[in-house]
Chain A
């Protein structure tokens, strides 16, 4: 009942502070502590008993007692009365309700009576820790109290969290240790186009009824000799010869040349490309390639170029919007919840998140409009071609092509637009210690846009919102190698090691 009072904003404030009184906490029967289960290849690092977890608003109980464990994969809290099922949230196959993968830890705060101090990931603490707040990239928040636990064990476990949540190199992630790795030749994968091989791209040309006299498969990058960011196989206008690509590639940021990603039987095509390097004034190489793209159109129409840099949020702005949204969705106290509640809609608006979602959808609709009603080829152009390009290109195809709205199709779309066309997941998900660039939730932005489409067209998709949630959850679960890398080159290199 306690929580009902808070949620329903009752006047007579029955709200008690999160910090329960010691007397109350001692009443919890301890029973036999249960330990976390380990996966194949998962290693135990540290644990501590007698930890209190203050559960979030809306759960049937306000705190639970149990064991906190850190492994090389997860942070695990197992309540001593675990049998009591808590089904409030969608559960993962690999993680119990109060477990999270270490990669999803975003920030850690030390909470004492009056202060809340941020602890730096990767650094040690030596002072006594009373309470810890762990904020996750997937919007979850955990609040632990240690006052009943063994002090040394607490210090060890806090340092273990701080150290292992921010690995310095990719190979330190659990995916490299996981023994039960899914084999990619597995049957499960046989219906998904991974777009790693020539055959997948040829199939895609056939499926879209694209004329293979106008567009061809290019293998010039088979050993990543011209670009580390492009896949080994990609599609270019048939009139473009390999040597032209070799000549032009250096002019483009990240060596990201214009590539074909989708088309129509009228040979209108959807093209993705990066901007020219800022040091390059002479646009000749870009114009040459655009001219070839124009010639591959049935009516030789000038392509529509959509600039996804101008007017769009920068990575920093997108991340800051997300953090605001996360704070709004996860008030840290009942008091804050109440304060926010009456202003919820204007607070939501001020995060700008929905504005960005709407902007993406609007641009995708425009792109779809050019491709169909105006029968014109669309070129998406963006700085290095690997962030907003992924969002808008996927959305345009979801809007126009029902194939991508099936489960297998959606997976293939992600494989094509995000994985092989190299969205920088390592960097944007912040999987390893910050120095390697800014984290920003572009993939979440795309999933949100897809969810919006699902709301407007409830019968058009084979999958449900649960599927989208699962996808987002799995981006931070470093069991899978799908969302680990910045590019195909990185993945290939990792495989060889």
Chain B
């Protein structure tokens, strides 16, 4: 059927597209691909585009891959290859082909005539590997390996018992998916690709504080933690109130859980209202007090002349904050902290969030039960948790922006919910963090430098899949960011593929960015010298992540306040449901967006040239006598 350009056929790309391809894809080397799977199984449009450019350059050089040949990254080595393996696709049925394990990825290429199916998964996303069936298993495809992933999917491969390939594949998979459990290095330390941009220079703590106008009369930069001995999960450089003494800082550190004292996250350039962050006070059952801590908080309050009040936002549900007293923690009593108002934001802990995501995965993968989709979604509570986090951040923004009042944020340790809240509030308050590089700075500052425990929460290279420390805290943050981009489509320089790329490399272990728990560990392990930053990769191809609707001029709202109501909060299907072909957007809209961006660029250039021409004519006319 040719005559109708119906939705059932794929439309061909326009001539503009092919020009685009030649221009921007041609130069790059084939090795640069991260996820070169076929478009029938792929999701991350950016990587699909990358794959296209690879295939193109392969075709150009008259070279095409045999099933057992695979694209490798610099530093990547093939560790195991098994022929006659069947990939059991939950959507398109079984496909026979060659399965390759490298020190970075699992790569499957089908040898079936119809379609060249590719499955390409970085081993970093693997959370659990299980053998399915035994030597006595009967039935087709009953014997093989099942792989459970951190990114909302599972993979099943069937082996032939008589080939004895399963044992070796399983062993190598285990070794390279869980290198730390096998006394091996993470792949990021083997990976040697060079990028034109250096992502490690994106965030300079002092430069960022200077951007906000620190030092000033009320705040100062201190290097008291240069050797990480006041607080081992804090960075080397912080900003604290101008008039606080070093010995007071030490006293406060003793009164705050894990020494995480209140430090500056953000300051309002006009009102001087601040967002500061810390951990819970060590109040305990006895209701301990600390005069230095009280004084320190009042210094933060006094640093803002616009308000004689301050808000202490405790991210936890009240009951949890009370329960923490039994473990020596707790919350500030309003009696001891003059003019401070304590507010509980009712956000649940990491265990509740992990369970919620588990339910969400059950709902979304592999297949969706349509008749109960919405109520099923509601019963996972995932969107409700997202709403609570957003509502908390909105409250902080409301106090800082509309009431010119400073806010101190903490939870228990101040590295999970606190990071979500401060980072989201800053994103709403400050347009700088809504640019691509500003967003990278935000993650480097509020998440990485202030010690969100990425290693523990993600479990990089570790086979303890049921570790109670794992939790999708950072994923929730990115989800919240996506929700805000949906409500303010013109306010962000980046598109959703930027967010998806960040999440993909949160797990991949290809870059050093999200490795380890603290800045101290990263310095100790020389991460900046030995690994590549994710931002080197993104900033070297920054055009892929631009939002065509971004409106970066004076018309832009400074402060954006999303509506934290479930009526507005949606499931991020492009991320959570991307493996299911029926849940994807059916149009190649990403391609179209790129075309439009390119067109806009050309038009801007033309206008510029016309202007110049007009100007030179004018000056000529003026210069020559009439």
Partners in one complex: yes
* Most chain A CB inside 10 Å of its own CB: which residue of B6, B383, B589: B6
A15 near B: Cβ within 8 Å? no
Q: Quick check: A372 and B567 within 8 Å, CB to CB?
A: no
> How far apart are the CA atoms of A456 and B586 in the complex, in Å?
5
Closest to A455 in B: B585
> How far apart are the CA atoms of A7 and B564 in the complex, in Å?
7
Closest to A355 in B: B371
Q: Which listed residue (A11, A344, A401, A457) contacts B4, Cβ 8 A?
A: A401
> How far apart are the CA atoms of A429 and B346 in the complex, in Å?
46
Specify which chain A residues have a CB less than 8 angstroms from the CB of B147 in the assembled complex: none
Q: Which listed residue (A11, A337, A349, A401) contacts B374, Cβ 8 A?
A: A349
Count class of interface residues, chain B: 35 or more
A344 and B561 in contact (CB under 8 A), knowing A4-B398, A372-B8? no
> How far apart are the CA atoms of A7 and B565 in the complex, in Å?
7
Q: Quick check: A11 and B346 within 8 Å, CB to CB?
A: yes
Q: Which listed residue (A264, A341, A369) contacts B566, Cβ 8 A?
A: A341
B587 near A: Cβ within 8 Å? yes
Q: Contact mask B400-412 → A, CB, 8 Å, 1/0?
A: 0010000000000
A456 and B370 in contact (CB under 8 A), knowing A9-B565, A343-B378, A372-B8? no
Q: Which listed residue (A58, A344, A400) contacts B6, Cβ 8 A?
A: A400
Closest to A401 in B: B4
A219 near B: Cβ within 8 Å? no
Q: Quick check: A346 and B374 within 8 Å, CB to CB?
A: yes
A202 near B: Cβ within 8 Å? no
Q: Quick check: B587 and A459 within 8 Å, CB to CB?
A: yes
Q: Contact mask A334-350 → B, CB, 8 Å, 1/0?
A: 00010001111110111
Specify which chain A residues have a CB less than 8 angstroms from the CB of B567 in the assembled complex: 341, 344
Q: Which of B426-463 contact A (CB under 8 A)?
A: none
> How far apart are the CA atoms of A344 and B395 in the complex, in Å?
22
Q: Quick check: A265 and B3 within 8 Å, CB to CB?
A: yes
> How far apart are the CA atoms of A346 and B566 in the complex, in Å?
11
A345 and B585 in contact (CB under 8 A), knowing A264-B3, A264-B4, A401-B4? no
Specify which chain A residues have a CB less than 8 angstroms from the CB of B372 in the assembled complex: 349
> How far apart are the CA atoms of A7 and B3 in the complex, in Å?
50
B288 near A: Cβ within 8 Å? no
Specify which chain B residues have a CB less than 8 angstroms from the CB of A100 in the assembled complex: none
> How far apart are the CA atoms of A457 and B394 in the complex, in Å?
33
B563 near A: Cβ within 8 Å? yes
Q: Quick check: A341 and B565 within 8 Å, CB to CB?
A: yes
B423 near A: Cβ within 8 Å? no
Specify which chain A residues have a CB less than 8 angstroms from the CB of B387 in the assembled complex: 9
Specify which chain B residues have a CB less than 8 angstroms from the CB of A456 in the assembled complex: 585-587
> How far apart are the CA atoms of A457 and B1 in the complex, in Å?
20
Q: Quick check: B585 and A346 within 8 Å, CB to CB?
A: no
Specify which chain A residues have a CB less than 8 angstroms from the CB of B589 in the assembled complex: 458-459
B377 near A: Cβ within 8 Å? yes
Q: Quick check: A457 and B7 within 8 Å, CB to CB?
A: yes
> How far apart are the CA atoms of A493 and B487 in the complex, in Å?
49
Query: A interface, by DSSP: helix, strand, loop or mixed?
Result: helix
Q: Quick check: A209 and B566 within 8 Å, CB to CB?
A: no
Q: Quick check: B374 and A358 within 8 Å, CB to CB?
A: no
A223 near B: Cβ within 8 Å? no
> How far apart are the CA atoms of A368 and B374 in the complex, in Å?
27
> How far apart are the CA atoms of A345 and B567 in the complex, in Å?
8
Minimum CB–CB distance for A157 against chain B, Å: 33
Specify which chain A residues have a CB less than 8 angstroms from the CB of B384 in the assembled complex: 342
Specify which chain A residues have a CB less than 8 angstroms from the CB of B585 in the assembled complex: 455-456, 458
Minimum CB–CB distance for B376 against chain A, Å: 9
Q: Which of B1-46 contact A (CB under 8 A)?
A: 1, 3-8
Minimum CB–CB distance for A208 against chain B, Å: 9
Closest to A268 in B: B1
Minimum CB–CB distance for A385 against chain B, Å: 25
Specify which chain A residues have a CB less than 8 angstroms from the CB of B7 in the assembled complex: 399-400, 453, 457, 460
A402 near B: Cβ within 8 Å? yes
> How far apart are the CA atoms of A373 and B589 in the complex, in Å?
26
> How far apart are the CA atoms of A456 and B585 in the complex, in Å?
5
B245 near A: Cβ within 8 Å? no
Q: Quick check: A459 and B592 within 8 Å, CB to CB?
A: yes
A240 near B: Cβ within 8 Å? no
Q: Quick check: A4 and B561 within 8 Å, CB to CB?
A: yes
> How far apart are the CA atoms of A456 and B582 in the complex, in Å?
10
A497 near B: Cβ within 8 Å? no
Q: Quick check: B395 and A8 within 8 Å, CB to CB?
A: yes
Q: Quick check: A457 and B586 within 8 Å, CB to CB?
A: yes
> How far apart are the CA atoms of A217 and B480 in the complex, in Å?
58
A312 near B: Cβ within 8 Å? no
> How far apart are the CA atoms of A346 and B7 in the complex, in Å?
31
Q: Quick check: B587 and A345 within 8 Å, CB to CB?
A: no
Minimum CB–CB distance for B94 against chain A, Å: 24
Specify which chain B residues have a CB less than 8 angstroms from the CB of A407 in the assembled complex: none
Q: Which listed residue (B8, B374, B564, B587) contacts A354, Cβ 8 A?
A: B374
B375 near A: Cβ within 8 Å? yes
Q: Quick check: B3 and A209 within 8 Å, CB to CB?
A: yes
Minimum CB–CB distance for A20 against chain B, Å: 22
Q: Which listed residue (B1, B6, B587) contacts A399, Cβ 8 A?
A: B6
A1 near B: Cβ within 8 Å? yes
* Most chain A CB inside 10 Å of its own CB: which residue of B3, B4, B391, B586: B4
Specify which chain A residues have a CB less than 8 angstroms from the CB of B592 in the assembled complex: 458-459
Q: Which of B377-399 contact A (CB under 8 A)?
A: 377-378, 383-384, 387, 391, 394-395, 398
> How far apart are the CA atoms of A402 and B6 in the complex, in Å?
7
A467 near B: Cβ within 8 Å? no
> How far apart are the CA atoms of A108 and B378 in the complex, in Å?
34
Minimum CB–CB distance for A353 against chain B, Å: 11
Minimum CB–CB distance for B570 against chain A, Å: 10
Q: Quick check: B391 and A8 within 8 Å, CB to CB?
A: yes
Closest to A12 in B: B343
Closest to B373 in A: A349
Closest to B563 in A: A7
> How far apart are the CA atoms of A350 and B378 in the complex, in Å?
13
Q: Quick check: A8 and B565 within 8 Å, CB to CB?
A: yes
Closest to A375 in B: B1
Specify which chain B residues have a CB less than 8 angstroms from the CB of A8 in the assembled complex: 391, 394-395, 563-565
Q: Which listed residue (B4, B373, B394, B564) contacts A372, Cβ 8 A?
A: B4
A345 and B383 in contact (CB under 8 A), knowing A9-B565, A456-B587? yes
Specify which chain B residues have a CB less than 8 angstroms from the CB of A344 in the assembled complex: 378, 565-567
Q: Quick check: A9 and B391 within 8 Å, CB to CB?
A: yes
Specify which chain A residues have a CB less than 8 angstroms from the CB of B391 in the assembled complex: 8-10
Q: Quick check: A373 and B1 within 8 Å, CB to CB?
A: yes
Q: Which of B291-335 contact A (CB under 8 A)?
A: none
Q: Which of B556-580 contact A (CB under 8 A)?
A: 561, 563-567
> How far apart are the CA atoms of A8 and B392 in the complex, in Å?
9
Q: Quick check: B6 and A458 within 8 Å, CB to CB?
A: no
Closest to B345 in A: A11
> How far apart are the CA atoms of A402 and B372 in the complex, in Å?
33
> How far apart are the CA atoms of A400 and B383 in the complex, in Å?
36
Q: Quick check: A348 and B374 within 8 Å, CB to CB?
A: yes
- Identify 24 residue pairs between A and B in the complex whose beta-carbon atoms are under 8 Å apart, listed by A's number: A4-B398, A8-B563, A9-B387, A10-B391, A337-B565, A342-B384, A345-B378, A345-B383, A345-B566, A346-B378, A349-B372, A349-B373, A355-B371, A368-B6, A373-B1, A399-B7, A399-B8, A401-B6, A402-B5, A402-B6, A455-B585, A456-B585, A457-B586, A459-B592
Contacts A344-B566, A345-B566 given; 17 further ones with Cβ under 8 A? A4-B398, A7-B565, A8-B563, A8-B565, A10-B391, A11-B346, A341-B567, A343-B378, A345-B383, A369-B8, A399-B8, A402-B6, A455-B585, A458-B585, A458-B587, A458-B592, A460-B587
Q: Residues of A with Cβ closer than 8 Å to B? A: 1, 4, 7-11, 58, 209, 264-265, 337, 341-346, 348-350, 354-355, 358, 368-369, 372-373, 375, 399-402, 453, 455-460
8 tightest CB-CB pairs across the interface, nearest first?
Answer: A349-B374, A346-B375, A345-B378, A344-B566, A345-B374, A400-B6, A456-B586, A457-B587
Q: Residues of B with Cβ closer than 8 Å to A? A: 1, 3-8, 346, 370-375, 377-378, 383-384, 387, 391, 394-395, 398, 402, 561, 563-567, 585-589, 592
